[in-house]
Amino acid sequence: MSQTKDYRVSHLDALEAESIFVMREVMAEFERPVLLFSGGKDSIVMLRLAEKAFAPGRIPFPVMHVDTGHNFAEVLEYRDRRVAALGLNLVIASVQEAIDTGLVRELPDGTRNRIQTPVLLNAVEKYRFDALFGGARRDEEKARAKERMFSFRDEFGQWDPKNQRPELWALYNGRHHPGESIRVFPLSNWTELDIWHYIAKERVPLPSIYYAHDREVVERDGMFYAVNEFIRLRDGETSQVRRVRYRTVGDASQTAAVLSEADTVEKVIDEVAATRITERGATRGDDKVSEAAMEDRKREGYF
């Protein structure tokens, strides 16, 4: 007796199909897309989806890193290795270069997250990008939860969360005038746990800092920051070596680690499944400036 084949689509298969559909839709509608690539897990998954979306051809758009100059060395090494392996065109929008040329000013506290925005918008104008793929997910943070899959930006690169386009029945409106652009978020409906399950399923390599390792850290505002050239000990602070890993990758002066023993994908999945705090809430100092910190930055043109 023959067995009936199971044609049910898994949760991950459905998410992957939706993201690939969105990427192909962008390629059909826009002239100059670009994928924002930081070397973080979400943009790494985006690259994997782009590979599958356009196989057997190469990924048909460049990737862009808005480089604050405050990067984790492991992440830069991974970025360059991955870009070379895929034969991609890497565009670097350098915050340090923007400081040197007077486009932006260094902030008194030395952090560079906020001054990324003019650098990003300058690169969008310079290269005339009209669609920017981002790896943001709605479960990360409340401002990101408001974004549409195709999220419109005006000629100044600004976002108005109260004036967004409807997306009924997965119909996306990409119409825009010259100078305007669309931010595209194919991972909108994914969760952090989905990302890790996909990394496990696809065997996607990640920078080593995503897995538990011993590191010199300082505890500050309830979070563990790596001691490095961007994070110096303040009066009264002492460093310690703890076993940690990173849940997000961002500016090294603003991104903290979490205590962890998870040194494999499977252990990370178990850890993420048990946690009650989002990765940004647990590790990003820049999101703790105010309740509306992320939304304020996004209105100005942030990712």
Which residue from 295, 249, 258 is spatially nearest to 146, judged by alpha carbons? Answer: 295
Q: Using alpha carbons only, give the angle 26, 27, 31 rounded to the nearest 5 degrees.
A: 100
Q: Which residues of 249-281 are buried (b: 16+ CB within 10 A; e: fewer)?
A: bbbbbbbbbbebebeebeebbebbeeeeebbbe
**% of the chain exceeding 90 in pLDDT:** 68
pLDDT digits (tens, 9 = 90+) for 103-125: 999 888 888 888 899 999 999 99
pLDDT of residue 282: 66
Cis peptide bond upstream of 108, omega within 30: no
pLDDT digits (tens, 9 = 90+) for 63-118: 999 999 999 999 999 999 999 999 999 999 999 999 999 999 988 888 888 889 99
pLDDT digits (tens, 9 = 90+) for 245-283: 999 988 888 899 999 999 999 999 999 999 888 777 767
pLDDT digits (tens, 9 = 90+) for 2-26: 677 777 889 999 999 999 999 999 9
Query: Which of the four pLDDT bands, split at 50, 70 and 90, describes residue 35?
Result: very high
pLDDT digits (tens, 9 = 90+) for 129-170: 999 999 999 988 778 888 899 999 998 888 888 888 999 998
Q: Is the pLDDT of residue 298 over 90?
A: no
Which residue from 132, 148, 4 is spatially nearest to 64, judged by alpha carbons? Answer: 132
pLDDT of residue 284: 65
CA-derived radius of gyration, the chain: 20
Query: Which of the four pLDDT bands, split at 50, 70 and 90, describes residue 285?
Result: low
pLDDT of residue 286: 62
Range 50-67 average pLDDT: 96
Task: Using DSSP, state whether 67 is helix, strand or coil.
Answer: strand
Q: Where are the alpha helices (DSSP H) in the chain?
A: 11-29, 41-54, 73-86, 95-101, 116-127, 142-145, 192-202, 265-274, 279-283, 293-300
In this structure, how many other beta carbons lie within 10 angstroms of the beta carbon of residue 2? 4
Q: In what order do the strands lie in the sheet with 213-220?
A: 223-226, 213-220, 240-245, 258-259
What does the mean pLDDT of the chain come to? 91
In this structure, how many other beta carbons lie within 10 angstroms of the beta carbon of residue 118? 18
Structure-derived torsion over alpha carbons of residues 47, 50, 56, 60, reported in degrees to the nearest 10: -100
Range 213-226 average pLDDT: 93
Q: Are 230 and 224 in contact (CB under 8 A)?
A: no
Element (H, E) at 153: strand 150-153
Q: What are the residues whose beta carbons fall under 8 Å from the beta carbon of 170, sequence distance 6 or more? A: 18, 21, 149
**pTM for this model (two decimals):** 0.90
DSSP-derived letter for residue 203 is T
